[in-house]
Chains A and B, each alone.
Chain A
Amino acid sequence: MDFFPLYQDIVSSRSYYEEADYINKDLDDVPEEFKLPYIIWSSDVEDKLNEVLDVSNIIFGLKQAGTAYVNACFPNKKTIGTLILPEINMSKNCLNLENSSNKLCNIYLVNEKKTNIKRAYSWSRHLLSYVKTKNVIIYDTLDATEIKTDISSEGLPHPPYLRRLNTSNFSINDDIKVLETPNFVQGCSASIMSWCEINNVRAVLYLSLNENIYGKSESTVETIEAFEKTLKTLIQEEAISSRNPLSSEQIKVIYKQYFVTKSKTANKSLLYT
């Protein structure tokens, strides 16, 4: 029975919105070619760029924690280009390229905060079409609510918590656990790893856990600390020089200035006993 102006909710099938597409085809206002991402290279790189950028390693830092860790591991990096995503509003970006709140995508440094997962394919394929590499290393995070595990015996997962996924052709000897089935990863890191698996490029994805604070997923110092175990892999794959690596303490000093520790959020962590 309906009560004006309220109407009874219909329990629709999951394909409800696909049925809407099926019946009423809506045309997108913006043509597809205007939604494609594009790269602007710095002038000194563009002159030397023949077809593709040939490197031994590509390292992606995704979302807050991944960005911060990669930024801290490579403090003396040089920006060589920017990937422009037409849908991202950059009007509030500041001039400091390393500010983690900036919405942009510099090569080696990505803040994927607002990138829609539907655009992950375009973003990743466009970037990867310009580079040729031996190895890909990705740093990303998971939300605590996304983890499926036997909490009755293992308890709720807490940072520091690190898992990895690697392509079939990449055997890694570290003590980092593989992300257990049936957990899965979406978005840009999934798109990049899929490309690597399909094209037989060695790749590894490291996933740290965000804290759940008042229902919001936040990166803390503990989230980023979990990535320290991966330093051995970076040295092994020669992404960092073994002769002069930054120590973990030096790296911690760099990213700690932007993030809080879990202890400072303890009085807000109502979800943990």
Chain B
Amino acid sequence: MLTFIPKSDFNVSNLNNSILILPGLNNIANIGQLTIDLLITSLNLKRVGYFDSPYLLPIIGNDPYGNNSNFLATNIEIYQSEDKTISIIQIRSPVISKHGETMVKDLYEWIKSIKFKYVLLLSGADASRGNDKLLESNRLKIMRTDALKQISDFNQQIETLEWNKIELHPDDLKENNNYDTYTSAIEMDNGFDITPPSENIENNPSPLIPGCGFAYKFYETCHEGQIPLLFMMWFTVEGDNVADAVLLAKEVGNALNKKDVKWIYPQSWKFLFGGLALASLYTS
């Protein structure tokens, strides 16, 4: 059960009518999380509350965005901008195996209880398993819930960005659900031909988007629950994903009509790939 604990000096009603941004759970290269880190640092957001969930691995650390030694970061927290227009949930650890759907449901229930203006869901997707059509096009793809299509001013913003060209529709994905669009690692690992298991389509008609983790499941849940949500997926492979995070953050800035943001890297990216090598390795 996900429990929200606001800070003592924070009024929960300040979350109403703000835009919520959150990362996908267990997505490839943690693109969602990297982008969120960039947004929190660059837009100077402050922590306003915590969540307590039994379905995420517990982790703690020092201040990831500054040098405050009296700041203990936990695995899932919520931040808000000074003008209260943007709220961001940062999820720093993976979901425990076999509890993804429960976590998705808990998050959905909490979001439904707060009247956010709309929700942006950021996730990576596995570019190595897309077909040629996907790889040759824009790395950003979006999906909108029906409830979001009712918000006219935001939809106008999307039209000015010409994002209708990069929009995916659930029906399109379902037509290609014979694993034409994506290859399934599970089928190939078993050495079988790539044929869709028919019973899975009947029981679980949702398409599979490799690398998204539980992001698509969350999108579906919000779609059925009439939550206005924009699902932004960034096709990438694992490696140095700092550039991907910056590009996705810029697209988020476009969606929010914030084009002049100076992107600042957080402290926690300092040793993303470890420190420099020992000097003694290079001396004779």
Whether A and B are associated in the same complex: the answer reads: yes
Q: Does A76 contact B (CB under 8 A)?
A: no
Q: Does B276 contact A (CB under 8 A)?
A: yes
In the complex, are the beta carbons of A23 and B95 less than 8 A apart? no
In the complex, are the beta carbons of B57 and A118 less than 8 A apart? yes
Interface residues on A, range: 35 or more
Binds A, one of B38-46, B83-91, B142-150, B183-191: B183-191
Question: Per a CB cutoff under 8 Å, which of A11, A26, A178 touches B98?
Answer: A26
Q: Does A179 contact B (CB under 8 A)?
A: yes
B21 to chain A, nearest CB (A): 20
A-side contacts of B78, CB under 8 Å:
none
Complex Cα distance, B269 from A167, in Å, reads: 22
In the complex, are the beta carbons of B59 and A148 less than 8 A apart? no
A-B contact count (CB 8 A): 169
Q: Does B166 contact A (CB under 8 A)?
A: no
In the complex, are the beta carbons of B277 and A20 less than 8 A apart? no
Complex Cα distance, B29 from A51, in Å, reads: 46
Complex Cα distance, B112 from A210, in Å, reads: 46
Chain A, 66-107, CB within 8 A of any chain B CB: none
Interface residues on B, range: 35 or more
Q: In the complex, which residue of chain B has the Cβ closest to the Cβ of A117? A: B57
B-side contacts of A247, CB under 8 Å:
none
B238 to chain A, nearest CB (A): 7
Binds A, one of B133-141, B209-217, B246-254, B256-264: B209-217
Q: Does B13 contact A (CB under 8 A)?
A: no
Chain A, 1-48, CB within 8 A of any chain B CB: 2, 7-8, 10-24, 26, 28
Chain A, 175-201, CB within 8 A of any chain B CB: 178-187, 189-191, 193-195, 197-200
B-side contacts of A155, CB under 8 Å:
278
Binds A, one of B65-73, B113-121, B157-165, B225-233: B65-73
Question: Per a CB cutoff under 8 Å, which of B74, B213, B267 touches A198?
Answer: B74
Complex Cα distance, B282 from A152, in Å, reads: 11
In the complex, are the beta carbons of B52 and A198 less than 8 A apart? yes
Q: Does A122 contact B (CB under 8 A)?
A: yes
Q: Does A120 contact B (CB under 8 A)?
A: yes
A146 to chain B, nearest CB (A): 12
Q: Does B168 contact A (CB under 8 A)?
A: no
Interface bits A143-165 vs B (CB < 8 Å: 1, else 0): 00000111110011000000001
In the complex, are the beta carbons of B52 and A152 less than 8 A apart? no
Q: Does B16 contact A (CB under 8 A)?
A: no
Q: In the complex, which residue of chain A has the Cβ closest to the Cβ of B62? A: A181
In the complex, are the beta carbons of A190 and B60 less than 8 A apart? yes
Q: In the complex, which residue of chain A has the Cβ closest to the Cβ of B66? A: A181
A9 to chain B, nearest CB (A): 9
Interface bits B15-50 vs A (CB < 8 Å: 1, else 0): 000000000001111000000000000000000001
Question: Per a CB cutoff under 8 Å, which of A10, A21, A125, A166 touches B97?
Answer: A21
A204 to chain B, nearest CB (A): 10
A-side contacts of B62, CB under 8 Å:
165, 178-181, 183
Q: Does A244 contact B (CB under 8 A)?
A: no
In the complex, are the beta carbons of B276 and A150 less than 8 A apart? yes
Q: Which residues of A contact B (CB under 8 A)?
A: 2, 7-8, 10-24, 26, 28, 117-118, 120-122, 124-125, 148-152, 155-156, 165-168, 170-171, 178-187, 189-191, 193-195, 197-200, 205, 273
Q: Which residues of B contact A (CB under 8 A)?
A: 5, 8, 26-29, 50, 52, 54, 57-64, 69-75, 92-93, 95-98, 100, 126, 128-129, 184-186, 188-189, 191, 197, 200, 204, 208, 210-214, 217, 238, 267-272, 274-280
Residue contacts A-B, CB under 8 angstroms, 24 given: A7-B188, A8-B188, A13-B28, A13-B128, A13-B238, A14-B238, A15-B210, A15-B212, A22-B217, A120-B57, A148-B274, A150-B276, A152-B275, A156-B278, A165-B61, A178-B62, A179-B61, A180-B62, A183-B61, A184-B92, A186-B58, A187-B58, A193-B72, A198-B74
